[in-house]
Chains A and B, each alone.
Chain A
Amino acid sequence: MGIVGQLDDCRKLEFGEGDRGATYSDFRTSCSEIGCAARKPFFRVTRVSAAKTHRPLSTRATSKNQTIAPHKLYLPTYKWMLLARVLEDKLASLYRSGKIVGGVYLGRGQEAFSAALSVHLDQAGGDVYAPLIRDMAGRLAFGEALIDPMRTYLGSPLGPMRGRDGNIHRGRPREGMLAMISHLGAMVSVVNGVLLARRLRGISGQVGAACVGDGATSTGSFHEAMNQAAVEKLPLVVAVANNQFAYSTPTDRQYACADLVDRAAGYGVMGYRCDGTNLEECLTTFGEAVRRAREGEGPQLVVGTLLRLSGHGEHDDASYVPAAVRKSALAADCIELAGQRILERRWAGEADLATWKSDAVNQVEEVLEQVASEPVPDPTGEAWCSLSVRHLCEGNLGA
Chain B
Amino acid sequence: MNVTYLDAIREAQAKALAQDDRVFLYGQDIAGFGGAFKATKRLAEEFPGRVLDSPISEDAMVGLAIGAAIDGMRPIIEMQFADFSSIAFNQIVNQAGTHYYRTGVPVPFVIRLPSGGNKGSGPFHSQSLESLYAHFPGLVVLMPATVEDAYTMLLDAVSLDDPVIFCEHKMLYYHLKAEKLPEEGLPIGKARIARAGTHATVVTAGAMLHEALKAANQLAEEAWDIEVVDLRSAKPIDTDTLLASVARTGRILCVAESFPWGGLNAEVIARVVGEGFHLLDAPPMRLNSRDTPIPYHPNLWAAHRPTAASITTALRKLLGF
Residues of A within 8 A of B (CB): 128, 160-162, 164-165, 169, 171-174, 178-179, 181-183, 186-198, 200, 220-221, 224-225, 227-228, 231, 385-389, 391-395
The distance in angstroms between the C-alpha atoms of A173 and B60, with both chains bound, is: 18
Between A and B, 28 residue pairs with Cβ closer than 8 Å are: A160-B103, A161-B102, A164-B101, A165-B102, A173-B99, A178-B70, A179-B103, A186-B90, A186-B91, A188-B60, A189-B59, A190-B66, A192-B63, A192-B67, A193-B75, A194-B70, A224-B58, A224-B59, A224-B60, A228-B57, A388-B106, A389-B161, A391-B189, A392-B162, A392-B188, A394-B235, A394-B236, A395-B137
- A181-B94, A192-B67, A227-B60 known; A173+B105 contact, CB < 8 A: yes
B57 and A227: CB pair below 8 A? yes
Considering the complex of A and B, which 5 residue pairs feature the smallest CB-CB distances, nearest first?
A: A193-B67, A189-B63, A224-B60, A224-B57, A193-B64
CA A191 – CA B95 in complex, angstroms?
13
A386 touches B137 (CB 8 A): yes
Cross-interface CB contact of A228 among B54, B94, B99, B104, cutoff 8 Å: B54
Residues of B within 8 A of A169 (CB): 102
Q: Add 19 more A-B contacts to A186-B90, A190-B95 (CB < 8 A).
A: A165-B102, A179-B102, A183-B95, A186-B59, A186-B94, A190-B64, A192-B64, A193-B63, A193-B66, A193-B67, A193-B71, A194-B67, A197-B71, A200-B49, A221-B63, A224-B57, A228-B54, A386-B101, A387-B140
Determine the chain A residues whose CB is within 8 A of the CB of B91 once the complex forms.
186, 189, 221
* A197→B63 contact, CB < 8 A: no
Contact, CB under 8 Å: A186 / B95: yes
Residue from B63, B72, B162 within 8 A of A190 (CB atoms): B63
In the bound complex, residues from chain B placing their C-beta under 8 Å from that of A385 are 101
Interface 1/0 per residue, B208-233 and A, CB below 8 Å: 00000000000000000000000000
Using a CB-CB cutoff of 8 Å, which residues 21-42 of chain B contact chain A?
Answer: 24
Q: How far is the CA of A162 from the CA of B101 in the complex (A)?
A: 10
Minimum CB distance partner of B67 in chain A: A193
Tell me the complex Cα distance, A387–B161, Å: 8
Please pick, from A183, A194, A228, the residue contacting B71 in the complex, using a CB distance under 8 A: A194
Beta-carbon nearest neighbor of A225 in chain B = B60
Bound: A252/B91 CA distance, A: 28
Cα–Cα distance between A169 and B98 once the two chains are bound (Å): 11
Please tell me if B178 contacts chain A, counting CB pairs below 8 Å: no
Q: Bound state CA distance, A182 and B49, in angstroms?
A: 33
- By beta carbon, the residue of chain B nearest A200 is B24
Residues in chain B near residue A197, CB distance under 8 A: 67-68, 71-73
CA distance A105 to B254 in the complex (A): 48
B97 (CB) vs chain A CBs: closest residue: A386
Q: Which residues of A contact B106 (CB under 8 A)?
A: 387-388
- Size category of the binding interface on chain B: 35 or more
**Complex Cα–Cα for A178 and B103 (A):** 9
B69 at the interface (CB under 8 A from A): yes
Q: Does B50 belong to the interface (CB within 8 Å)?
A: yes
Residues in A with CB closer than 8 Å to B87 are 220
A386 to B104, CA, bound (A): 9
Tell me the minimal C-beta distance from A221 to chain B in angstroms.
5
Q: How far is the CB of B223 from chain A (nearest CB, A)?
A: 38
The chain B residue with its CB closest to the CB of A227 is B55
B138 in the interface, Cβ–Cβ < 8 Å? yes
Tell whether, in the assembled complex, residue A228 and residue B67 are in contact, meaning their CB atoms are under 8 Å apart: no
**Residue from B60, B99, B162 in contact with A189 in the complex, judged by beta carbons closer than 8 Å:** B60
In the assembled complex, B247 has its CB within 8 A of some CB on chain A: no
A389 to chain B, nearest CB (A): 5
Distance (whole angstroms) from the CB of B176 to the closest CB of chain A: 26
A183 CA / B98 CA spacing, docked (Å): 13
Q: Does A200 lie within 8 Å of B57, measured CB to CB?
A: no
Residue of B nearest to A179 (CB): B103
Q: Determine the distance from Cα of A394 to Cα of B136 in the docked complex, in whole angstroms.
A: 11
Contact of B55 among A165, A178, A231, A392 (CB under 8 A): A231
Chain B residues with CB below 8 A from A164, complex form? 101-102
Cα distance, A195 to B63, chains bound together (Å): 12
Known: A200-B24, A228-B55. A194 touches B68 (CB 8 A): yes
A392 touches B59 (CB 8 A): no
- Residues in chain A near residue B105, CB distance under 8 A: 173-174
B100 contacts chain A at the CB level, 8 A cutoff: yes
Residues in chain B near residue A162, CB distance under 8 A: 104
A187–B71 Cα distance when bound, in Å, is 14
**In this assembly, does B194 line the interface, its C-beta being within 8 Å of a C-beta of chain A?**
no
Q: Is the CB of B94 within 8 A of A189?
A: no
Q: Are B161 and A388 in contact (CB under 8 A)?
A: yes
B252 proximal to A (CB < 8 A)? no
- B279 interface contact, C-beta 8 A: no
Of all chain A residues, the one with the shortest Cβ separation from B267 is A397
Complex Cα distance A187/B91, Å?
Answer: 9
With the chains together, A179 CA to B104 CA distance in Å?
A: 11
> Once bound together, how far apart are the Cα atoms of A395 and B236, in whole Å?
10
B65 contacts A by Cβ under 8 Å: yes
